[in-house]
Structures are given as structure tokens and as C-alpha cells.
Structure 1
């Protein structure tokens, strides 16, 4: 049985390992009424901002000093040149959304349009890319990269979709970027010194007892970059509602997260539960075990109780022998 569980654990960790990746993402925002610039653009490589521009700036961001390769500087110049193109289409989509949703009066005072395009490279060689847009926090449209088709998430996106599809060359160029160019850029820029920064996570386990159950939490903090995988392994574990917390920033620029599970009190001391943390700063994983201490504590108290019973029994026997001689 132990061997079977060991094989399961190994396979599970191999699966989890593929979930750690390099990300190259661009974020575009057009807004009104939130005290934000009318347009912002940010390009991020594994949480490191390599380009930022907004409409309140007089000039675009200069090339960072740490992009010190010829290929890296060339890619950055292309990013720089595409800003005006991106701003035009995001603003056009924003205006189209306001018009199609027929937002007038006071409702037109605060609106926001957001676009994000990401490509991710996983350790096992798997590559994935997505391009999505949202209006006021809800899906608006996306690009099907394989078919070069724009997909409207709501009927109000049809007008903008038709306008974009009237220029198939532009759509093909965008799809080609996410099919291959984004990956090429990722491979070039991820060698930059700032992107290579890694900080190892600290992992600790704490528990909280409730009626009939114990909630056990694995808290992970101090890691960088942001991408992390946290898993509990063990029999009959019940995830806590909202037990998986979003990855949150710390004041020092690192990140933290946690994951909780419920363990029935009857299982305490019967099974071993492991919190496994995977992060790009680690050559392997960090594993913290909960249950060994409980089992050891129960064993110690059981042993002490047995010793006490033996001492009491032996004392009673001595006394009986003494009374018999008298």
C-alpha cells in the first residue's frame, strides 16, 4: 500500500511540476472616470515590467539598462513601436462597447475596457497563448489563435468584431505573433538579469480546531516570482471553501499564498498529510508533513499511560504481597 501511495505521489508531483511556467503578458486599459490615465499599456515578463506607457506621459519608456543584448533591445524597440497601434484598437473597442451597450447619462461617467495577451512556456515544453478583452469586468471578446477568428462573448461585441475582421491581414499578424513570435520574445527576454531573480518560499503549517474537525493550513510566503503551486497530499482530504487564496503581494516585493484542508478528528494520528510547494526558485520541491507530530504525541501519551498503569499495578502487587506476609 505504501508503494502504491508513493507512486501516486510521484506522478502527482510530476503533473504539478508542469504547471510552473514562464509568462510574457501584455495588459492594455482604456478607461474613463476612475482617476486613471485614458490609456495604459504594460508588458510583463514573469512579474517584471519591461515596458510601461500611459497617455499622461509625454514620452514612452526608455529601454531599461538591464536589457543588454542586441536581440533584447531589438524586441524592446518593436514593443515600443506597437504602442500607438495598440492604443488605437483598444480605444476603438472601448468606444464601440459604450455605444453598443447604449450607456448614456451618469452611467457613461465610469467605464473601463481591459485587454490582456499572454503566452506561457511550461517546463515540459508545452506552449499556450491567449488574447482576451473585457468591458467593465465582463468578457467582451477573444481571439481564437488557431483559426484566426475573433469570438464575440456578448452580442454587443459583434460590431467591433466585424470591423476587425474586415482587415484579415491584421488579424493574421496578431495570431502569428501569439503562435510563435511571443514565444521567441519570451526566450530572448527571460535571459535578462532582472528577470532571473529568484527568492525561495518559506513554508509553515498551522492548525485550527473546530467541532469534530481540524482545519490545517499551509502558508507559503517570501517567494518570487509570483507563479507557485501548492498542493495537499493525503487520504480523504476535504478542501476548505475558498481555501485557495489568491497570490498576494508582500511589502518587500515578494508574494504569499495559502491553502487549507479539513481533517476529521478521527483521522488525527492515523494518516500523514503533506503540503507540497513547487516554485521556479527550487531545484525540487518543499514538503512539510503534518500528522507525524500528532502520531508521535499520541504514541508518547499512550506509552506514558502504559508505564503509569504498570507502576500502579506493580505498587499494588507489592502492597498485596506485604499484607499477605503480615
Structure 2
């Protein structure tokens, strides 16, 4: 029996040339849902929830400690944002009535959503903005910021599109808001949340397999930020076939997790000779804010006498 061959599991930290920061707001109005608030608003900064409002409480709850500090140092900001959320609550709820009429609906469960926000590249300073509305899970109206017009994917939205396209003053304000005002707010909030949002956490990694014939699962958890690419390599070549990449999901502590499955069909049957260690490497590409590189662990993958051995 040949000795087991240890293969390094590496985390490659690359200094990225730039980072694109984002500030998003999500509004959801509903009808026909007895166990869900009629209106919910959520604010997200770099994909981290910073604030929450619903029609039951009619108040904004800060989700981050540093947002509490921001409010203390900016008197009136909470009141303004609460008023903005309350106004959106009334307008979206009223629009559901109009939409049900336009779609010839009388009952059932319905959702009307509004998502808007902006992005900023911290290296070259470029910005972008977006706003869109959706009804029952489908696009309803989408703002084209370059042409300052609204796109109507469904015919029921065409009348509203024409009316909104005709309001040039409002469109000019939206252009100013998304290219200037929203970006200024994004930068201001980033300054308060820098220690949290720009931290880096390395992943904890496990290899899992339920049975000798089931896929091998590479599970990484506890990493931050969420910009992680997990891949399998064999004999120096990255594997694409029989690899099932999972979705990056949040943990309760603000970090993230992801699992990537490898179907054993990706390894030729002739390679499973008695006593041979199959050289498979699990790699991570983590674009961090500062260069860093570290060996996280050593894993051995071997199949022998119908048994799968995972060791680190």
C-alpha cells in the first residue's frame, strides 16, 4: 500500500484593483397575506442589512451598531427615513389596487415590489443607479438611466410608462439622485461601517461524504466578504464537469458559507486502482482588500477497499 499523499488546501488572497460598493433598498407591499406585514422595507449596504421597517410597527429598526452611531450624529435622519418609508407604504399599497384592476384580478395573494439603489467603484469613481418595479414576481417597470426612460415589459405597464416618461423634471431628479445623492449616502455610510464591512475572515473548510458512491462535498463557512470562488482541481486541472457549485449563503453571525459538490464520475474509473491516492485539490479564490495567502489545511482523499477516507 502506497503512503497517503497530502495535498494542500490553499486560500489565495489577491489584492483587488477595485471594489464596487452598493446601497440597495427593497420595498414589498402585499395583499392576501394574513401572516405577513402589508409593507416591508429593507436597506442593504454592500449586501449587509442595515435597516428594517414594516407596516405593523411603523418604525425603523437599525440592524448594525454603527448605524445607531450614524443616527446619533445625524439628527433628523431617522425621522426623514421613517416618513419616506411610510409614504412608500401608502403609495405601493394603493398601486396594488390599481394593478389588480389592470390584470383583471379580484382576489388571491399579490406582491408589488420596488428595488432601487446605486453602486460606486472605489478606484475609478464610476457610479451606476437602478430602479425597478415588479408585480407578482415579474418585472413591471424598469428605469433606463442612460436614456432617462422607463421600460415596460408587460402591456399593463405601458400607460404608466408613458405618463412617467412625460415627467421630465422627475426623471432629471432621478438622474441626480442615483448619480450624486445616493452615492454620497453610500460613501457616508461606508465610513461608519468600514470596520465591519471591510473586514476579512478566512473560511473553515470540511470535506463531507454520506456514502462511498455519493458526491464529495467541500463545505466552507465563516468567511467574509462573500466574494469567494470555490473550485475543484485534479492533476493541476480545474474540474467543471460533474461539479455542482452551490449558492453563497449568509450565516447568523454575518459571515457566509458555500458548498461545492463533486460527483465521483468526474474521476475516471481506471484511476481508482488499489491503494492509489487520487490527487484532488480544493481551491479558493478570495479577492480580499489586502493581499494575504495562507495554508489552511492538508487533506487526503483516498478510496480503498470500498471505503472513502477523508483526513486533515
1:102 CA drift (Å): 0.8
Greater RCO (Cα-Cα under 8 Å, separation 6 or more):
2
- What stretches of structure 2 of length at least 5 have no aligned partner? 1-11, 305-312
2:190 is aligned to: 190
Q: Note if contact 1:134-1:141 (Cα within 8 Å) is conserved in structure 2.
A: yes
1:46–1:195 Cα contact (<8 Å) kept: no
Q: Residue 275 of structure 1: CA displacement? A: 1.7
1:96 corresponds to which residue? Answer: 98
CA deviation string 1:49-106 (max 9, x = no partner): 4333222235555895321685x667666544533443354335433322221111xx
User: Residue 129 of structure 2 aligns with which residue?
Assistant: 129
Cα 1:103–1:217 change in 2 (3 A) is same
Matched position secondary structure for 1:246: coil
Matched, 1:25 2:13: no
Contact conserved, 1:144 with 1:150, CA < 8 A, in 2? yes
For the residues of structure 2 that align with 1:195 and 1:134, how far apart are their CA atoms? 35
Q: Does the aligned pair in 1 maintain the 2:24–2:118 contact within 8 Å?
A: yes
Q: Which of 264, 274, 281 is the aligned partner of 1:273?
A: 281
TM-score by length of 2: 0.69
Change (3 A) 1:185 1:173: same
Partner of 2:201: 200
Is the Cα contact below 8 Å between 1:279 and 1:285 reproduced in 2? no
C-alpha spacing 1:65/1:79, structure 2 compared with 1 (3 Å): same
CA change 1:267–1:192 in 2 (3 A) is farther
Tell me by how many angstroms 1:287 deviates: 6.9
Question: What does the per-residue CA deviation read over 1:171-210, in whole Å, with 9 as the maximum and x for residues that have no partner?
Answer: 3222332223222211110122487254614232526476
Deviation sequence 1:11-64 (CA, Å, 0-9, x none):
x987x9579643211010110122222222221223444333222235555895
Q: In the alignment, which residue of structure 2 is the partner of 1:302?
A: none
Query: Which SS does the other structure have where 2:44 is aligned?
Result: strand
| Structure 1 contact 200–224 (Cα < 8 Å) conserved | yes
Q: Label 1:37 to 1:25 Cα distance change in 2 as closer, same or farther (>3 A).
A: same
Larger Rg: 1
Shift of residue 281 of structure 1? 7.5
| CA–CA distance in structure 1, aligned partners of residues 167 and 90 of structure 2 | 14
Structure 1 distance, partners of 2:118, 2:229, is 22
Aligned residue pairs, count: 275
Q: Distance in 1 between matches of 2:294 and 2:119?
A: 24
Determine which structure has the larger strand proportion and give its number.
Answer: 2
RMSD of Structure 2 on Structure 1 (CA): 3.9
Change (3 A) 1:81 1:224: farther
Residue 65 of structure 1 pairs with residue 68 of structure 2: yes
> Which range is displaced more, 119-128 or 92-101?
119-128
Instruction: Describe the shift of the 1:74–1:44 C-alpha distance in structure 2 as closer, same or farther (beyond 3 A).
Output: farther
5 Å-filtered alignment, 1:200-279, equals: 200-206=201-207, 208=209, 215-224=215-224, 227-232=226-231, 234=233, 235=237, 237-240=239-242, 243-262=244-263, 263-265=266-268, 273-278=281-286
Tell me how far apart the structure 2 counterparts of residues 27 and 187 of structure 1 sit (CA, whole Å). Answer: 19
CA distance in 2, matches of 1:247, 1:18: 23
In structure 2, relative to structure 1, the CA distance for the partners of 1:59 and 1:293 (3 Å cut) is closer
For residues 131-152 of structure 1, the C-alpha deviation after alignment (integer angstroms, 9 at most, x for no partner) is: 2222111222211111111111
1:44 equivalent in structure 2: 44
Matched residues in 2 for 1:19 and 1:203: separation? 26
